Every structure is written in structure tokens, then in C-alpha cells.
């Protein structure tokens, strides 16, 4: 049973995170184990965690999206542009920003699922296109956003800013949906064996389209929250987020080959990445080294994923070998 627990990356990542917290509290007793630091830590990772939930769903289905960071910037920038320059009411502007994210997700999903474009090429191209759009709508930055818009991301509940609560709501909702509904459980079958899922009656292409739309929608929500929290829209928001998020979900139990992963793992992965970044800031690590360290974490995460795949494949091959070996009576072992 212990061996089974250790193979579950949700448990191992939880233990690793707790150990890292204990070590950091011992090394930085005056700055790390404080309510203010943990509050700021959760606030900083909340946006990444919301996007990571959508990325986890995509990786379970065996695909990914490199354009989510650009979608964050574009959705927030478009809403701010409409509110400030065209006096569009806050709810309408937010819906239009969110609608633009859904449209981007639909384009990605349609071209990948129905036209057969490689996800890496399609989403990489979309990342550049949408980033250019964010620069057009946000320019050098948009400030003086309406009070009620800023209140969405800057108000507090029990001393904690609202993006943290929104993060918890998104994680809880998608954990329930993925664990309890047939619709979302289908993504495991698609990621595990796409051809078998198609033959069993699952509309694989349509499901992939929905996955890209859901992921982009969550990126749009994150963009609105981030813009609201900062009180400004910037074209540079979300830059590099796609790599942080992919690293987080792989650390949290997803696989690049699809078929595995848990939504809480996305939160744990984002928490671990945010914790590492927080510790580096406290330790006054140079920004150059921070980028290097985060890149190394991505390489290690992918290496762990590949190592676990090889180990799993080896166990399955060994099991097949023994199952096909005849028993002394001439009957297979697994009758």
C-alpha cells in the first residue's frame, strides 16, 4: 500500500511541499512562516492555478495549449479597453472579454481536432497572434479602471483577497465535475486510447473542441481577475505563464501522453511552483537564476513523467509475459 501511495504524485507532491515549507520556515523564520507571506503566496499563485485547471483537463485528453498566457492578457486588455475608451458597462465588457477567450479556444480546438493541425504548432502560432492583439488593445497599459471592476479582484473576505476564493471555487467545481460526471470522465478514455474511445462511441473531436474552449474560458477568467486585481491592463500580463502552468500540472500528476491526472494535482503543482518562487524572492535570488531554476524544474518534471511511463510500461510487459506463460496443466495463469 505504501508503494502505491508513493506512486501517486498528488501524495508525493503534498509531502514534498510540506517538507519544503518546514525547511523554509527553519531557514527564514522571520519572513517565511507569517500570515502575510502565505496570504501573498496564495494570491500570487491563484491566477496560475485557475489556468492550470484548464491545462490539466487538456493534458488528461492528451493535448495542451501554449496560448493561455496570451489569452490572459487579451481578455483582460479587451475588457479594460472597452470600459475606459468606449464607456461599455462593466458586466458587458467582462462578457465580451470572456467571449473573446471562448472564441480563441474554439479556433484552437477546431483547427486541432477537425483539421488535424499539430497542437504545438497551432497553439504556438495562436500565442503570437493573441499576444499581438493584446498589444493592440492594451498598448502601453490601461489604468483608471472602474471602481466596481477593480473591486472584483481587490476586495477581501476574511482577510484574503477574492482571487484566492475564486481559485478555490474553480478547483472544487472541476474536481466534482471530473470525478462525478460521465462527460468529463470521457477525457481519460480519450487521453488513454483515442482510437478505442472513438470506437466506443465517444465523439473525440467534439470533446477536444470543448476542452480547448473550457481551458481558454478559464484563462479568460484569470485575465479578468488579474487585470481587476492590478487595477490596470498590460499587454505583458501572462507572459511565460504557459510554461509555468504546464510544469505545475505535470508535477501534479498529468502526463504528456494523456489519460492521467487529477484536478487537485493542478492546484498542488501551482502551489509548489509558487512556493519555489516565493522562497527565491525571500532568499533574494537573482531574476536570471529564477528563470534558470524554473526551467530546470520543468525538465525534471518531464523526466519524472517519462521515467514513470517507462516503469509502467515495463510492469505491463512483464505482466503480459507471465499471463501468456502456460501453467503446468496447460492452462493460462489468468483464467
pLDDT, position 335: 33
pLDDT, position 160: 87
Contact (CB, 8 A) for 210 and 62 = no
Please name the residues in contact with 153: beta carbons below 8 A apart, sequence gap of 6 or more.
161, 162, 163, 225, 226, 227, 228, 229, 230
pLDDT, position 10: 77
As a whole number of Å, the end-to-end CA separation of the chain is 26
What percentage of residues in the chain have a pLDDT greater than 70? 89
> What are the pLDDT digits (tens) for 130-180?
999 999 999 888 998 999 999 999 999 888 899 999 999 999 999 999 999
> What are the pLDDT digits (tens) for 203-251?
999 999 999 999 999 999 999 999 999 999 999 999 889 989 998 998 8
CA–CA separation, 67 vs 323, rounded Å?
Answer: 45
- 8-309 folds as ABC transporter involved in vitamin B12 uptake, BtuC (1.10.3470)
Residue spans of the domains in the chain: they are 8-309
| Regions of the chain where pLDDT drops below 50 | 2, 322, 325-335
Nearest to 186 by CA among 62, 75, 308, 279: 62
Nearest to 279 by CA among 19, 15, 21: 21
pLDDT, position 317: 56
CA–CA separation, 69 vs 244, rounded Å?
Answer: 10
Per the document, the length of the chain is 335
Amino acid at each position: 500500500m505504501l508503494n502505491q501511495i508513493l506512486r501517486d504524485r498528488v501524495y508525493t507532491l503534498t509531502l514534498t511541499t510540506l517538507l519544503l515549507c518546514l525547511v523554509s520556515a527553519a531557514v527564514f523564520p522571520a519572513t517565511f512562516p507569517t500570515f502575510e507571506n502565505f496570504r501573498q503566496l496564495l494570491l500570487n499563485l491563484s491566477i496560475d492555478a485557475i489556468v492550470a485547471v484548464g491545462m490539466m483537463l487538456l493534458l488528461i485528453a492528451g493535448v495542451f495549449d501554449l496560448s493561455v498566457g496570451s489569452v490572459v492578457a487579451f481578455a483582460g486588455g479587451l475588457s479594460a479597453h472597452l470600459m475606459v475608451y468606449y464607456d461599455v458597462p462593466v458586466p458587458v465588457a467582462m462578457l465580451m472579454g470572456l467571449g473573446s477567450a471562448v472564441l480563441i479556444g474554439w479556433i484552437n480546438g477546431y483547427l486541432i481536432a477537425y483539421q488535424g493541425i499539430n497542437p504545438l504548432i497551432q497553439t504556438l502560432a495562436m500565442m503570437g497572434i493573441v499576444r499581438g492583439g493584446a498589444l493592440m488593445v492594451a498598448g502601453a497599459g490601461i489604468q483608471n479602471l472602474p471602481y466596481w471592476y477593480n473591486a472584483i479582484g481587490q476586495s477581501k473576505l476574511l482577510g484574503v483577497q477574492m482571487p484566492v476564493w475564486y481559485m478555490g471555487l474553480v478547483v472544487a467545481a472541476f474536481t466534482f465535475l471530473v470525478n462525478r460526471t460521465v462527460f468529463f470522465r470521457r477525457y481519460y478514455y480519450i487521453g488513454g486510447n483515442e482510437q478505442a474511445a472513438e470506437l466506443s462511441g465517444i465523439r473525440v473531436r467534439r470533446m477536444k473542441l470543448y476542452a480547448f474552449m473550457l481551458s481558454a474560458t478559464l484563462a479568460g477568467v484569470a485575465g479578468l481577475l488579474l487585470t481587476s486585481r492590478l487595477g490596470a491592463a498590460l499587454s505583458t500580463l501572462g507572459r511565460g505563464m504557459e510554461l509555468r502552468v504546464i510544469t505545475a500540472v505535470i508535477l501534479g500528476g498529468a502526463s504528456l501522453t494523456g489519460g492521467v491526472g487529477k484536478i487537485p494535482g493542478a492546484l498542488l503543482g501551482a502551489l509548489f511552483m509558487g512556493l519555489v518562487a516565493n522562497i527565491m524572492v525571500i532568499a533574494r535570488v537573482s531574476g536570471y537564476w529564477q528563470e534558470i531554476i524554473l526551467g530546470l524544474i520543468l525538465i525534471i518534471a518531464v523526466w519524472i513523467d517519462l521515467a514513470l511511463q517507462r516503469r509502467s510500461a515495463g510492469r505491463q510487459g512483464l505482466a503480459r509475459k507471465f499471463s501468456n506463460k502456460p501453467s503446468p496443466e496447460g492452462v493460462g495463469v489468468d483464467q
